Structure 1
Amino acid sequence: MAGTVRTLGSALLMAFAPPIGGVALLAAIGAALTWAFAPTREGGGAATVFVISAGVLAAVLWLLARARRRAQRLIAAINTANDLQLDPRHLLGYPSPVVVAFDRMHRHFAICNASTSTYRVFAFEHVLRWYADWETRTHMQLSGTGDWVQGTHIRSPTFTPVERDEQFALVLEVADPDTPQLVFPMSERNAISWCARLNAIFNGGSS
């Protein structure tokens, strides 16, 4: 139970870390520009924002680096214990604490939990399929103006339903009754990239 709570906590933290880091970076850049070009009296607030934003960004970068180091240490231990060559460079799921590492030479992969230092090793033959998944949602988008509002000089707005693909994820299905489906939320670009990478890993032969 404690391991599950620790894993969920780490997963939530690492899910929010990249967007928070992006906001902090933009805030730091904006504050730095304001600080540099604003008059001295008006630059004090910008300096404070810059220091806080830079601190948040540094904390996020430290968290991301620590997550990768923990995953790489676990992978090194798995390689030593199982005589494998799991590649620590391409970790499906990073920066989540649960990642998948691949050994093309021996055609094995490992599902690793860096939060609990646990793992399971499978042969490539256990992989059933992989694909990018997403949800299509309908949003109302302002498309122009409609009829005049009676008694006013204002036109009512008109809206058009627009479908957008959201909530992208890479899905890996394996022949494991306990965990038959592994879902890794990510951007559309990363999902497409990982589909191509997995095709190269599983179908490209050993290297």
Structure 2
Amino acid sequence: MKTCLRTLGARLANSVVIPAAWVSGLAMIGLLWGMIEFSSGKLTVEGRQLFLASVSIFCLAMWHLIRRKRRAKALVASINLKEGLSLDDTQLLGFPSPLFFAFDPSNKKLAQCQSATGDYQIRDFTWVTGWQFEWQQINSKVSGGVLQIVDGAGMGVPADEIRRRFIRFTLVLMVADTSHPPLRFPMSRSAAEGWCARCNVLFKC
């Protein structure tokens, strides 16, 4: 029960901290630009308070992420020391989530780590049976006009255009355990493509 609560708390903190870092960082940059552009003397009291609040939130968010990164690296280092492995702490699949994976290509081992509790499991690369990255496609119909030449004159003809957007990119790992659901790691498109390329190298070598 305590382990579940710690994991849930860590996930909740990540879901709040990362967006807060982005928003406060953008607000801080905007207010800083305003101070430089219009001089600090013209900045209102509310503007100064908002700037200080943005700086504080940004610093707290960065402190949380740095602390979590150090904890993850410390856990990987302790696993290497205990198990005699060479897990790479620079490529952690799933980080900054409390559940992440570290890989040791030389020994063909991976560690399923839980940074919230310090627990881990060592598995062979053969445990991973497949991988892919998925996304959600959104089609939207946009009505507009297309300029056509009719009898030498330009004429707007109504037309529908289908626009496609791709969102919610996720790396999916299938494992050799029928009771274990596929592991899903939400990330950006470039990160998902990069991890697919790494999986091709790790698990096919």
TM-score by length of 1: 0.83
Question: Quick one: distance in 2 between partners of 1:9 and 1:17?
Answer: 12
Q: Which amino acid aligns with 2:197?
A: A
Contact 1:34–1:43 (8 Å) recurs in 2: no
Question: Quick one: distance in 2 between partners of 1:140 and 1:24?
Answer: 35
Residues 67 and 44 of structure 1, relative CA distance in 2, 3 Å threshold: same
Question: Quick one: distance in 2 between partners of 1:130 and 1:12?
Answer: 27
Question: Quick one: distance in 1 between partners of 2:72 and 2:130?
Answer: 24
Q: Which amino acid aligns with 1:14?
A: N
Q: Deviations over 1:94-135 (max 9, x none)?
A: 110100000011100011111121111111111101111112
* 1:15 to partner: Cα distance: 3.2
Alignment of 1:24-103 (within 5 A): 24-38=24-38, 40-103=41-104
Q: Deviations over 1:3-42 (max 9, x none)?
A: 1232122123213422321221111011011122325143
* 1:2 to partner: Cα distance: 2.5
* 1:166 to partner: Cα distance: 1.4
Residues 189 and 15 of structure 1, relative CA distance in 2, 3 Å threshold: farther
TM-score by length of 2: 0.84
* 1:67 to partner: Cα distance: 1.2
* Equivalent residue number for residue 7 of structure 2: 7
Q: Which amino acid aligns with 2:23?
A: V
Structure 1: 5+ residue runs without aligned partners?
145-157
Question: Quick one: distance in 1 between partners of 2:112 and 2:143?
Answer: 45
Deviates more, 1:134-143 or 1:91-100: 134-143
Question: Quick one: distance in 2 between partners of 1:113 and 1:26?
Answer: 31
Alignment: residue pair count: 193
* 1:74 to partner: Cα distance: 1.4
Structure 2: 5+ residue runs without aligned partners?
146-158
